[in-house]
Amino acid sequence: MRPDSDLRQRSEIEASALPPLLARAEHLAGTVLLGDHGRRRAGLGDDFWQYRPAQIGDSRRLIDHRRSARGDMQFVREREWQIAQSVMMWVDQGASMRFTSDTSPKTALPEKIDRARLLGLATSVLLIRGGERVGLTGTSLPPRRGNMQIRRLAEFFTIDDDTDYAPPEHRAMIPHARAVFLSDFLGDMTEVRLALTKAADRGVRGVLLQVLDPSEEMFPFHGRTIFESVGGTMRHETLKAGDLRARYQERLAARKDELMGLCRATGWQFGTHHTGESAQSALLWLYRALDGGTS
């Protein structure tokens, strides 16, 4: 069994609990890619909407002769106006995400990267099932539809990145699309700030979900300790880890505040998820965040 198929299977299980997710399509104009979102009105689209009597000004080419031949009136076939939302995912594949504080068999916590991928792919499954186009930020996997795309996403999610704190990928953002960023956001903030500003400039709105291990929140350490990043690039030695707890938690809160402020400024939404909690709640939150306002 290939590794991605397992991730795919679990993602499908998570996603099956929620109704298809409809991304909010706010900005119609300028969207070059047509989607399936019926606007309940005639317009550009593939699906049949209604026949209406031909009016003056209609081009003759528009007349549907099969319908018109039944009677004396001439009908024009109208199609439903449809639009598909493009959603771009960014899941932090960096080394810092490959961390869990508890590996004992009974109470084992998943690695952060595992949870982030699961959430990312589950969201993708929901979106694709709802007819959205889902892709990755950057140029590697542009948004597409269909089950094949889920599979491609799953494949991309198995590629580990050895960078310690991976910067968010913000290139080639499609204007007015939606974006989902999953990371622990413990790395350098300038990249995140840059990415969000850039996204806001292009009218992209989205969700930031910070995935944290419980130990990163609680800081349950004592005694003389050398802390090392997972990639090994950073280290910090302390003689009394217990004393650092308060200050660490202050810094973490400050980081969250900063992220939240950033989101508020750019119209994004910010959430925090701990690997100790269930993935379902996080997926529900993501669903509501992406779906916000449409239902």
Partner 1 sequence: MTVIAGIGFSAPWLLLALLALPILWIILRAVPPAPIRRRFPGVALLLGLSDEDTVTDRTPWWLLLLRILAVAAVIVGLAGPVLNPQRDAGGSGPLLILLDGTWAGATRWSDKQDLVAVQLAEAGRANRPVAILRLSDPEAPSFQAADAWQARIAGLRPMPYAPTETQIDSVLATFDAASGFDTHWISDGLDYAGRDRVRAALQAKGDLRVYQTGSAVIGLAPAVFEDGAVTLTARRSVPGAARDVVILAQGRDPAGIERTLATATATFDAGEREAQVALSLPSELRARVTRFEVQGQNSAGATSLADDSLRRREVALISGRDDREGLQLLSPLHYLNQALMPSAELLNGALIDLLPANPDAVVLADVATLSDAEAESLAAWVEEGGLLLRFAGPRLAASDISREDEDPLMPVRLRAGGRSVGGAMSWGEPKGLAPFAEGSPFYGLSIPEDVTVNAQVMAQPDPTLADRVIASLADGTPLVTRKALGQGQVVLFHVTANAEWSTLPLSGLFVEMLERLAVSSTAGAPTAVDLEGTTWEPVQVLDAYGALEDAGTRPGVAGPDLAEAPLGPDLAPGIYDSGDRRLARNVIGAETALTPASWPEDVPVEGLGTIGEKPLGGILLTLALAMLAADILASLALSGRLRGQRAATAAAILLALGLLPHPGQAQVVNDEAAALLATEELVLAHVITGDAQVDELAQAGLSGLGDVLRYRTSVEPGEPMAVNLETDELAFFPMLYWPVTPDQPIPSAEAYARLNTYLRSGGLIVFDTRDADVAGFGASSPNGRRLQQLAAPLDIPPLEPVPHDHVLTRTFYLLQDFPGRYAGRDVWVEAAPPDAEQVDGMPFRNLNDGVTPVIIGGNDWAGAWAVDASGRAMLPVGRGFAGERQRELANRFGVNLVMHVLTGNYKSDQVHVPALLDRLGQ
CA angle 53, 54, 60 (to 5 degrees): 150
CB of 234 to partner 1, least distance (A): 5
Nearer to partner 1, 68 or 100 (CB): 100
d(CA 291, CA 295): 7
Strand locations in the chain, DSSP E? 37-42, 48-53, 75-83, 86-91, 133-136, 178-183, 205-212, 225-228, 235-238, 269-274
Nearer to partner 1, 74 or 238 (CB): 238
CB of 148 to partner 1, least distance (A): 34
CB of 184 to partner 1, least distance (A): 6
CB of 275 to partner 1, least distance (A): 12
CB of 233 to partner 1, least distance (A): 10
Nearer to partner 1, 41 or 236 (CB): 236
Residues 6+ apart with CB under 8 A from 15: 122, 123, 125, 126, 129, 283
Nearer to partner 1, 56 or 239 (CB): 239
SS3 content of the chain, % helix, strand, coil (to 5): 35, 20, 40
d(CA 135, CA 153): 7
Nearest to 282 by CA among 39, 120, 73: 120
CB of 249 to partner 1, least distance (A): 9
Nearer to partner 1, 252 or 260 (CB): 252
Nearer to partner 1, 200 or 260 (CB): 260
Residue ranges in contact with partner 1 by CB under 8 A: 96-97, 99, 104, 112, 165, 184, 186-187, 213, 215-216, 219, 221-230, 234-240, 243-244, 247-248, 251-252, 255
**HSE-CB of 52 using CA atoms within 13 angstroms:** 13
